[in-house]
Each structure stands twice: as C-alpha cells, then as structure tokens.
Amino acid sequence: MRRVVILGAGFGGLELATTLSDALGGDIDVVLIDKNDSFVFGYSKLDVVFGRTTMDAVRLPYDAIAKPGVGFLQERVTAIDPEARVVTTDAGVHEADVLVVALGADYDMDATPGLAEAGNEFYSVAGAERLAQLLPTFSGGRAIIGVCGAPFKCPPAPSEAALLLHDYLVTRGIRDACRLSIVIPFGTPVPPSPDTSEALVAAFAERDIEFVPSRRVASLDGGRSVAVLDDGTEMPFDLFLGVPRHRAPDVVIASGMTEDGYVPVSSRTLETRFPGVYAVGDVATVGVPKAGVFAEGAARVVADALIAAVRGDEQPDGYGGRGSCYIEFGAGRIGRVDVDFLSGPKPTGTFREPSVALVAEKQEFGSSRSARWFGR
Ligand SMILES: Cc1cc2nc3c(=O)[nH]c(=O)nc-3n(C[C@H](O)[C@H](O)[C@H](O)COP(=O)(O)OP(=O)(O)OC[C@H]3O[C@@H](n4cnc5c(N)ncnc54)[C@H](O)[C@@H]3O)c2cc1C
C-alpha cells in the first residue's frame, strides 16, 4: 500500500491525513482532495448567523496544510470508480491503492418544496452568511426553526439555534414581539440522552419557545407564509430557519456505492464492500449520528488500520462509536453530552450541565483541531 487518496477534507479527511502523516511521514503518499479552498467548523456557522463572528474569521485555508507525505489538491470529484479505485476530478484522474470517501452529506433543497424560496437554511456556509445579513432586518413576529428530515447533521444544532435566536432577540430588545417554535422529527431533542433532552426541553419552556416533537417540515407555502408539517398541520411564520433534508453527494450516489442514500460500511472497520475502499463520516451509514466527532473517530480507526498494515503490526480494535458533543444553551453557557452508540445493546448518553467552564472546553476542542490539522 503506497498511495492513499482521501476524498473530502472535512472532519474525517483532515483527521485521517493528519494521523497518517504523524505516524508515517514521507513513507506514505497521501492525496487529500476537496473542492473548497478552506474548512469551516459546523458550529462556527451558528456563531456567524448570530453575529458573534464573521465567516472570514473562522475559515481555515487548506493552503496552510504542510504535512510530510500529504499533498492537498483543490479539485472537484466528478466520478468515483470503487472497483478500480480510480477517481476523476475536474483536473485529472487519480489512482489509489487505498481510497477513502469522506465527502460528507449534501443538502437536498428540492426535497422540501418552498424551502429555497421562502425559508433560510443555515447549515451551509452560504446559507449561514445570508441569514446573518437577514436577521438584523427581522423586527418581530413568528419565527420557526424547522427540520425537514432525518438523519441530519449534529442533532442538537436546531435546539442550539432556537436558544441562541432567543438570546439574539433579547439583546435586540424585540423578544417580546416574537413567538419562537422549534420543529424536529425526533420525540426528544437528543434521543440517546434523556437528561440532555430534559434540560433542553426545560430551557425551551423557560424561554417560552414552543417545542413541536416528532414532526418534520414537509413544505413551505411562501405565498401564505405557512410551514406545512408532515401530518398536514400548518404553522404560520414571518421568519423560517430551516435544516434541509440531507443526502450523500451526487457523485457518491452515481458511483453505485450507496444504499438507502448513504454508503454502507462495516461499523467496526469502516470498510465498504469494495476491497481497499473505506467511507468515513457523514457520507457513511455507521450507526452513529452525523457529527464531526464521529467522523473524526472513524477516521482514526481507518488510519490506525492502515498504519498497522504498513508496519506489519496486528490490526487495532474496531470503531467504538463514542463521542462528546458540546451544546450551546444560550446565556453564555454550554453543556456537553458524552454518547456511546456501539458498545452496548442501545445508545447511551451522559449529560454535563451547562457551565461557563464548558465554553472554554469547547474553544479548546476547536483550537486543538485547528492546530493539529492546519498548524495554526
Ligand atoms: C450548524 C452546525 C453545527 C454543527 N455542530 C457540530 C458540533 O458542535 N460538533 C460536531 O461534532 N459536529 C457538528 N456539526 C456536524 C459536522 O460539521 C459534520 O458532521 C462534520 O463536518 C462531518 O464530517 P465529514 O468529514 O463527514 O464531512 P464534512 O466535514 O462535511 O467534509 C466533507 C468535505 O467534502 C467536500 N466535498 C463534497 N463533495 C465534493 C466533491 N464532489 N469534490 C470535492 N470535495 C467535495 C466538502 O467540500 C467538504 O469539505 C455541525 C454541523 C452544522 C451544520
């Protein structure tokens, strides 16, 4: 095994390239490909939306990557042949001994009629920037945070958006002129952790935020400014913050690797059914939520297996499906949930109460990744 081609330089791809370089340096040839020129942490989008920072301040440019054995290419992947392990991009063709697909999940705006025209998705970089421009013009009325389908990235993020929107409206002195609602397709905000869910539901109640569980937003009627839920219920709105339906990128679907929308893998090894081809992160069906910490954990497992193969060592243990997510509770406090998806018969989660100390811990989470992946 000489050449590892990693498609996607997000949480999974960056962690994989870094771990391989740290262990093997110039003894391995890693090609890391992404269509963008920079990485943005998912949670930074919320900071941008609510005016706590700007997109320029949180972008991490890929040209800062300087790791032995790793070459970054800014190219768009246009075709993947998993049988031959050959990737075509808008700039050329790349052959791999080991191919790792880490292309994340895309947003399917067309799956929710009216969302593109009447709603504001805040899950993409462009959407977050647009909403940051729009929010200051909102002067009051009914605001809905609505999820259009599961699975979606970072299950606590819509709850965080609701609590941060509350704070934002309080700061602007217009909270009393607004009604806030959150619609999510789960029975509770964070299903594997009843304690976390209870704390979030209590935080909604304290702030007079209406919580609509077990429903998804099926369409928006822009003419009447109404969100239509999957049971036909209509909710009028003046401002709609949407989480679009997700799906694997088109190029992954076209490669024939997907089943039910995502790439099936062994949840222990992250191997696909194609020899020498792995999939990590949001693009794969692993049995864990779509979140950066899980993409990163899966990437480490693949890296460890490849490092052991190069060194002729015993193969390491498989993926454990554990991770910690920080949750913005508003009022300058952050909580944490430690979840374990794969080691027991069912997922479990342990909640840490929101605190100021966890604000610092989340900052350290981001700055340690930035230093490790980008050297800054
Ligand atoms: C608002 C919000 C808040 C979040 N908060 C958190 C949080 O607090 N903690 C957490 O762990 N997770 C959080 N997440 C989720 C997290 O961002 C994702 O789950 C994580 O980034 C997934 O990592 P990944 O490597 O699978 O994919 P990604 O990080 O999405 O990376 C995929 C990469 O593939 C590239 N790509 C896609 N298609 C192509 C193509 N055709 N050619 C070339 N490149 C391509 C993309 O440009 C991208 O860089 C949040 C997400 C959002 C939207």
pLDDT single digits (tens) 217-275: 999 999 999 999 999 999 999 999 999 999 999 999 999 999 999 999 999 999 999 99
**CA 350 to centroid of chain Cα atoms:** 21
Domain ends where: 191, 210, 245? 245
Which residues approach ligand 1 with their CB closer than 6 A?
8-13, 33-36, 42-43, 45-46, 76-77, 102-104, 123, 153-154, 157, 249, 251, 281-283, 290-293, 295, 325-326
pLDDT of the residue at 280: 98
- Report the helix count and the strand count for the chain, using DSSP H and E: 10, 25
* Ligand 1 centroid distance, CA of 158 (Å): 16
Q: Residue 343 — pLDDT band, cuts 50, 70, 90?
A: confident
* 116 and 234 share one domain: yes
- DSSP state letter for 259: B
* 235 and 123 share one domain: yes
Q: Is residue 373 part of a domain?
A: no
* 252 and 222 share one domain: no
Give yes or no for residue 376 having a pLDDT over 90: no
E strand or H helix at 305, and its extent? helix 292-311
Tell me the average pLDDT across 110-129.
98
Residue 52: how many other CB atoms lie within 10 Å: 14
* 226 and 127 share one domain: yes
pLDDT of the residue at 344: 87
pLDDT of the residue at 286: 93
Torsion of CA 5, 9, 15, 17, to 10 degrees: 30
* 44 and 88 share one domain: yes
For the chain, the average pLDDT equals 97
124 CA: nearest ligand 1 atom: 53
Tell me the average pLDDT across 363-370.
98
284 CA: nearest ligand 1 atom: 26
Give yes or no for residue 34 having a pLDDT over 90: yes
* 62 and 169 share one domain: no
pLDDT of the residue at 83: 98
Q: Is residue 54 part of a domain?
A: yes
* 255 and 232 share one domain: no
Give yes or no for residue 119 having a pLDDT over 90: yes
CATH number at residue 133: 3.50.50.60
pLDDT of the residue at 1: 65
Reported as a single tens digit per residue, the pLDDT across 294-314 is: 999 999 999 999 999 999 999
**Contact between 19 and 301 (Cβ < 8 Å):** no
Reported as a single tens digit per residue, the pLDDT across 272-282 is: 999 999 999 99
| pTM (two decimals) | 0.97
Domain assignment of residue 204, given as a range: 109-245
Rounded-to-integer distance, Cα 100 and Cα 104, Å: 12
Tell me the average pLDDT across 50-60.
98
SS3 370: helix
Give yes or no for residue 189 having a pLDDT over 90: yes
pLDDT of the residue at 2: 87
Q: Is residue 338 part of a domain?
A: no
Tell me the average pLDDT across 330-340.
96
**DSSP per residue over 173-215, as a string?**
T-GGGEEEEEE-SSSSSSTT-HHHHHHHHHHHHHTTEEEE-S-
Q: Is residue 168 part of a domain?
A: yes
Q: Residue 146 — pLDDT band, cuts 50, 70, 90?
A: very high
**Contact between 86 and 65 (Cβ < 8 Å):** no
Structural domains counted in the chain: 2
**CA 335 to centroid of chain Cα atoms:** 18
Tell me the average pLDDT across 357-375.
97
